[in-house]
Amino acid sequence: MPQTGRNSMAEIMTVLVTVAMWIVGAMGVVGIPVLAIGLTASLSGGATEISGIKALAEGVMPGQLVIGLVGLMVIVPGVIFICLQLRRILLTLADGDPFVPENASRLSHIGIAIAAMELLRVMTVLVVSAVPTLVGDEPPRLSTQFILWISVAALFVLSQVFREGTRLRDEEKMTI
**79-100 pLDDT, tens per residue?**
999 999 999 999 999 888 888 8
How large is the average pLDDT for residues 3-12?
Answer: 74
Of the candidates 81, 106, 80, 82, which has an alpha carbon nearest to the alpha carbon of residue 93? 106
Q: 56 by DSSP, 3-state: which? A: strand
- Confidence label for 2 from pLDDT (cuts 50, 70 and 90): very low
Instruction: Give Cα 16 distance to the centre of its chain.
Output: 16
Residues 6+ apart with CB under 8 A from 130: none
**pTM to 2 decimals?**
0.80
